[in-house]
Amino acid sequence: MADITKDVVIVGAGPAGLGAALYSARDRYDTVVLDKFVPGGQINLTDRIENYPGIAQISGPDMVTALQQQVETFGAQIKINSEVTALTRRDDGTLIVQTDDDTYLAKVVILTPGSDYRHLGVPGEEEFRQAGSGVSYCGTCDAPFFKDKDVIAVGGGNVAVEDALHLGKYCKKVTLVHRRQEFRATKVLVEELIEETKKGVIEIRYDSVLTSINGSDHVESATLKNVKSEQTEDLPCDGVFIFVGMIPNTAFLKGSVDLNESGFIKCDPAYLRTNLPGVFVAGDCRTGAAMQLATAIGDGVATAMYMKEYLRDPQWWNKDRCPEALGW
Ligand SMILES: Cc1cc2nc3c(=O)[nH]c(=O)nc-3n(C[C@H](O)[C@H](O)[C@H](O)COP(=O)(O)OP(=O)(O)OC[C@H]3O[C@@H](n4cnc5c(N)ncnc54)[C@H](O)[C@@H]3O)c2cc1C
């Protein structure tokens, strides 16, 4: 167990963390990025990215390799298998970041631990989760890959309804499976959805759940069950989109930074400051995140720019705050 002093500690080597590290290291701050696994985060799981501005198509792993090399060229250290378990702040302003092996002392901490998609936990979900096999958790990312195909979407919140509408622009047929009669999504979105069903592309299956995803090497059908009649049906489809929420990886921060009721890290939207001076947040783990590669990288870059304001003058921390956006 060693004490290691750094200017900047970044928690998570996903796109947000690597974006922050690039700017921080290039500005000659002594920077370490800690990741509990390997660099890259969620984007490692896809073999086709088509919505990163300026790059027509690239695989997730290729994108991560390029980012990692660029970050390391400027001297940032990336430490794998280093799970952060705690964060505290001393009265003198030093931030203490704890892993199982080491204690890091830092002037600035940038939190980028990301979020995981909530899974349904049904047979076939893990098997077909690999990119291209037919199970997806992001309509914005993957809808174009299902052009003129039949897909099933699952969920009843805002993301489910918005993404079902988005899928309707590409797919031949979208069957939205919802376990209740009423949607949790906002009224205006539900009205739009109902209106769209009249065109025949989107169909809603109320009071229904998806119980398994079936196929040989890719998705061929899904089994639906009506929770009232208990009747089951095997519906042929080319893909299944699961929109049942996100789980932010923030359990280790409980009690040290303010989280919202779902566990997302609260922040000031203009400067991505948390409630703890010197601690910024970027990417999919923060309130208001757009959950995209480009926005996660953009967030990371923004925090590395704003941290310089704090390092120049710690009083900046409370300047121009926007308390209503934080819910404080
Ligand atoms: C299959 C798939 C396909 C996608 N396709 C696209 C696409 O085409 N276009 C697009 O824009 N977006 C896409 N996305 C979304 C995109 O990947 C995410 O928005 C982006 O990765 C978020 O970046 P992040 O850095 O905030 O978080 P993450 O990518 O989740 O990275 C967080 C990192 O933090 C690490 N970590 C977590 N907790 C700790 C801890 N306690 N200590 C240390 N490390 C920790 C994790 O191991 C991880 O490496 C896709 C996502 C998936 C899953």
What integer pLDDT is reported at residue 324 of this predicted model? Answer: 53
Report the nearest-CA residue for atom 5 of ligand 1: 141
| Cα 197 to ligand 1 centre (Å) | 33
Q: State the pLDDT at residue 131.
A: 55
Pocket probe for ligand 1: among 67, 293, 301, 303, the residue whose CB has the most ligand atoms within 8 Å is 293
pLDDT at 2: 79
Joined together, the tokens standing for residue 229 give: 């009649």
How far away, in angstroms, is 115 Cα from ligand 1 center? 7
CA atoms of 221 and 235, how far apart (whole Å): 5
Amino acid in position 190: V
In words, the CATH class of domain 2-116+246-326 is alpha beta
For the record, the structure tokens of 116 come out as 């995981």
Q: List beta partners, residue 216.
A: none
Write out residues with Cβ below 6 Å of ligand 1: 11-17, 34-37, 41-43, 45-46, 49, 51, 83-84, 112-114, 131, 138, 141, 249, 252, 283-284, 291-294, 296
- 10-residue block means of pLDDT along the chain (328 residues)? 93 98 98 97 89 96 97 98 98 97 97 96 92 87 95 96 96 98 94 96 98 96 98 98 96 97 95 97 96 97 98 94 58
State in Å: Cα 198 to ligand 1 middle: 36
| CA 32/CA 298 separation, integer angstroms | 19
Q: What is the fold, at CATH topology level, of the domain defined by 119-242?
A: FAD/NAD(P)-binding domain (3.50.50)
Q: Whose CA is nearest to atom 20 of ligand 1?
A: 293
Report the first-to-last Cα separation within the chain, whole angstroms.
37
Q: Which tokens hold the place of 241?
A: 């989109």
Distance 52 CA to ligand 1 centre (A): 14
Distance 172 CA to ligand 1 centre (A): 30
Phi and psi angles of residue 51, each rounded to the nearest 5 degrees, phi first: -120, 25
Residue 264 is given by DSSP the state P
Distance CA 155, CA 1 (A): 45
Q: Do 297 and 285 contact (CB within 8 A), yes or no?
A: no
2-116+246-326 and 119-242 share one fold: yes
pLDDT of residue 67: 97
* The ligand 1 atom nearest the CA atom of 83: 42
Separation of CA 312 and ligand 1 centre (Å):
31
Would you say 163 and 152 are in contact if contact means Cβ atoms under 8 Å apart?
Answer: no
Nearest residue by C-alpha to atom 30 in ligand 1: 114
Boundaries of every domain in the chain: 2-116+246-326, 119-242
